[in-house]
Structure 1
Amino acid sequence: MDISTENEEEVEVPSRRSRLGWFRRRAILRRIAFAIAALLVLPYLLIPFYALPFIHPISTLMLRDLVTFRGYDRQWVSLDQIAPVLVKSVMVSEDGQFCFHGGVDWGEMGMLVKETLGGESTRGGSTIPMQTSKNLFLWNGRSFVRKALELPLAVTSSFVWSKRRMMELYLNIAEWGPGIYGIEAAARYHFKIPASKLSARQAALLAVSLPNPIDRNASKPGPGLRQLASLIQRRAANSGDYIKCLYN
């Protein structure tokens, strides 16, 4: 056998394997890119679907509890089955400009960015549409990546959903305790009554527990939580035009 021919064959085999490995890596990367793109597009396909009143979506946290076999308690109720004082309390506590913005309070967001760049302690800055989008499609925790995904979802959902539908969705997916989702389950868990029977004080306590429902227990409030609830209770009683988009 010609030695030069044998050497050419030995060189050709690794080269062919190298090309094959490159094509496989490229195919894997293409599949990963396609999966990421699909996950980014999926929420925008679901937003019109969730506008339908008979659709009762679950949040990513509920999905996590299902996957980990922990389970959860959520009983869907329409906005008309929720005490108006609870809706008012949540609105003035979480998003006082809910009736007036298109998903994002840009003034508040500008101040938040300025504080962050200045190294100051910041507020949450999230509107109800932003929180609803995060609960339905994203994850908990603070990060610029999540916030960047959250903003266009909030604007899009606000364009598609009515204010009443937005509030109904938010109140039915918000977390109010370990495995407790939605205002009906929260009212029964904390106060042993349906959401339609909540008092002004109970509504205020539930509203102020929303930012941290694991550590803030609405039915066993500490002095700080009680004081904050009193403030929200007064604001809800004088909410006036702030809630006209829901109860006009």
Structure 2
Amino acid sequence: MPGSLLAIAVCVLLLYELGLFAMIVWYKYQNPDSSAFMTATLAQLRAADPHASLQHRWVPYGQISTALKRAVIASEDSNFTGHDGVEWDAIRQAWAYNLKQEEMGTHRRRGGSTITQQLAKNLFLSDSRSYLRKAQELVLAYMLELVMSKQRILELYLNLAQWGTNVFGAEAAAKHYYHVNARMLNSYQAARLAAMLPRPDYYDHHRDTAYLRGRAHVVERRMRLVDLPDNS
């Protein structure tokens, strides 16, 4: 009996993973209307306000400022075009840093996730911090890299990333913060948006902190060193 239960559990897990893989193939060609993270955020907002809604509008890759593409890569994943979805050295460094911060009793934490991993989390998973969720994120990241081009991964990420309490995607972010379309963002505006990504809800309400200004200047200086992906 235990062996039969294990076999059933393995089959269920494989079917689940195959279902996720099929969805990734679908999203290679079709633009998602929403994401798991957007759905969860809307549910949280509506618990306090039944009329809450999200700001989001999909725009094609070509209608997003090149400056924003460069800024996001410079800020979140400088080796985006060179890795296969996961940067194990960055994960190990983040793990060591977070352990040290925990021992010191601080709440400061560092992430080691690539843009591909962040897309996997936003599109399919939750913001929980369990080891199981992290393992699934890694599997999904490899699936995304296997199926999609780097350009498609970046296009999906830029359209689904959270940029404010209820703001998702580059187009909504550009209009929310600067009252322009995503294709019109200049270098400094793009750098500020990229610097907001780790704490979008916080920076939606604290838009002019010294840290944000300083981080934006650092990102802007790094942007010229970034390689953008082609569509291969």
TM-score between both structures, scaled by the size of structure 1: 0.77
Runs of 4+, deviation exceeding 4 Å = 31-41, 65-69, 114-122
Question: Which of residues 90, 93, 113 in structure 1 aligns to 2:72?
Answer: 90
Q: Do structure 1's residue 79 and structure 2's residue 61 form an aligned pair?
A: yes
Question: Are the aligned partners of 1:50 and 1:57 in contact in 2 as well (CA < 8 Å)?
Answer: no
Note the C-alpha offset of 1:220: 2.4
Residue type of the partner of 1:245?
P
Q: Do structure 1's residue 151 and structure 2's residue 135 form an aligned pair?
A: no
Distance in 2 (alpha carbons) for counterparts of 1:115 and 1:202: 30
Q: Secondary structure at the match of 1:231?
A: helix
Distance in 2 (alpha carbons) for counterparts of 1:182 and 1:173: 5
Q: Do structure 1's residue 55 and structure 2's residue 42 form an aligned pair?
A: no
Question: Which of residues 225, 229, 232 in structure 2 aligns to 1:245?
Answer: 229
Q: Secondary structure at the match of 2:173?
A: helix
Deviations 1:143-202 (A, max 9, x none): 222111100100110110101100000000001112111000010011000000001111
Question: Which of residues 168, 173, 179 in structure 2 aligns to 1:181?
Answer: 168
1:125-144 correspondence runs (5 A): 125-144=112-131
Residue type of the partner of 1:227?
G
Deviations 1:64-92 (A, max 9, x none): 35554532111101111011011000001
Q: Do structure 1's residue 106 and structure 2's residue 88 form an aligned pair?
A: yes
Q: Do structure 1's residue 222 and structure 2's residue 199 form an aligned pair?
A: no
Note the C-alpha offset of 1:224: 1.1
Distance in 2 (alpha carbons) for counterparts of 1:232 and 1:136: 25
**Count of aligned pairs:** 218
Q: Against the structure 1 CA distance between its residues 187 and 117, is the aligned structure 2 distance closer, same or farther, given a 3 Å change threshold?
A: closer
In the alignment, what sits opposite 1:18? none
Deviations 1:195-221 (A, max 9, x none): 000011110110000011000239822
Deviations 1:100-145 (A, max 9, x none): 0010012212333444566666520000000000001100132222
Coordinate RMSD, CA, aligned: 3.0
Distance in 1 (alpha carbons) for counterparts of 2:70 and 2:195: 12
Structure 1 unmatched ranges of 5 or more = 1-30
Identity %: 35
Structure 2 unmatched ranges of 5 or more = 1-7
Deviations 1:18-40 (A, max 9, x none): xxxxxxxxxxxxx9998877655
Distance in 2 (alpha carbons) for counterparts of 1:109 and 1:178: 27
Q: Do structure 1's residue 202 and structure 2's residue 202 form an aligned pair?
A: no
In the alignment, what sits opposite 1:23? none
Q: Secondary structure at the match of 1:99?
A: coil
Residue type of the partner of 1:83?
S
Quick check: which has more Rg, 1 or 2?
Answer: 1
TM-score between both structures, scaled by the size of structure 2: 0.82
